A = this chain, B = another copy of it.
Amino acid sequence: MARLTIAAQADRQPQSLPDPCENCGVRDFSACAPLNDSELCRLAGLMTTVNIEPHQPIFSEADAADHVFTVTGGAVKIYKLLPDGRRQITGFLFPGDFLGLTHNALYAYSAEAMTATRLCRFPRKKLEALLDELPKLEQRLLGMASHELAAAQDQMVLLGRKSARERVVSFLLMLSGGAVRRGQPDNPVAVPMTRNDIADFLGLTVETVSRTMTQLKTQHLIELMDEKQVRLSRIEALREIAGGF
């Protein structure tokens, strides 16, 4: 740790890298990835770290969109509600993911912590101003947005055209793939969300998700270590079922 501190002091910047950035475990995956220490330092100047308890809201649809966030720990769900309460979860976010980007005055969706979550929070106005001076950051955000857009299109295929079985299998493979990218164990894969959240993400009901999981288990395609931990026993067969992911 002393070594790290010294390294930071040796940097040409007036201030050393702030502590949360110094120890950041997601720097390489996050929006910050393309920035050098000096640039990161400027960005960190606007940043506040925030901790959120499980099941606590981060922001709600139609709140003023005054901040954007990077998830650095935990897991977040984002969702939209219909007036009568039906819910569609549009994404699960994990460390490294960016949260709250919009080009309107209000957020387009609600965000809630699923587990204990740690965030870096940036005031939107100040960040936007800084973007003009850090084109690398803007490029990075554009890249991340394109990536999310592609994921959203995959999700439309899933919701519009896949059977319940295909949806559940696609979901498990997606989770596992995400874990790989973050360097976490991918098989068995952690499933931190409830069955209800899975259902609202896949456009199904809890019952159908549950039935489908036990069906997959019966067919020896997966193994439920426990409710929140799934082994994908026959990845290739699963990929076949998922239909191209």
Grouping DSSP codes into helix (H, G, I), strand (E, B) and loop, the A interface class, with mixed when no group exceeds half, is helix
Given A145-B145, A146-B102, A161-B82, A108:B153 Cβ within 8 A: yes
For A167, the closest partner residue in chain B by CB is B160
What 1/0 mask marks residues of chain A from 112 to 133 whose CB sits below 8 Å from any chain B CB?
A: 0000000000000000000110
Min CB distance A161 to B, Å, is 5
16 residue pairs bridging A and B, Cβ less than 8 Å apart: A80-B153, A82-B161, A82-B243, A84-B243, A88-B161, A90-B156, A103-B147, A108-B153, A135-B135, A138-B142, A141-B142, A149-B152, A152-B152, A152-B153, A156-B156, A160-B202
User: Quick check: is A86 within 8 A (CB to CB) of the other chain?
Assistant: yes
Say whether B102 contacts A160, CB under 8 Å.
Answer: no
A151–B161 alpha-carbon span in the complex (Å):
19
For A132, the closest partner residue in chain B by CB is B135
**14 further contact pairs, Cβ within 8 A, besides A80-B156, A159-B203:** A83-B243, A86-B161, A88-B161, A90-B153, A90-B157, A102-B146, A109-B153, A135-B135, A138-B139, A145-B149, A148-B149, A156-B159, A160-B202, A160-B203
Chain B residues with CB under 8 A of A135? 132, 135, 138
For A138, the closest partner residue in chain B by CB is B138
- In the complex, the count of this chain's copies comes to 2
User: Quick check: is A143 within 8 A (CB to CB) of the other chain?
Assistant: yes
Number of interface residues of A (CB under 8 A): 43
Which residues of A are in contact with B by a Cβ distance under 8 Å?
Answer: 80, 82-84, 86-88, 90, 101-104, 108-109, 131-132, 135, 138-139, 141-143, 145-150, 152-157, 159-162, 200, 202-203, 243-244
Given A138-B142, A149-B145, A155-B156, A161:B83 Cβ within 8 A: no
A139–B145 alpha-carbon span in the complex (Å):
12
Min CB distance A105 to B, Å, is 13
Min CB distance A177 to B, Å, is 15
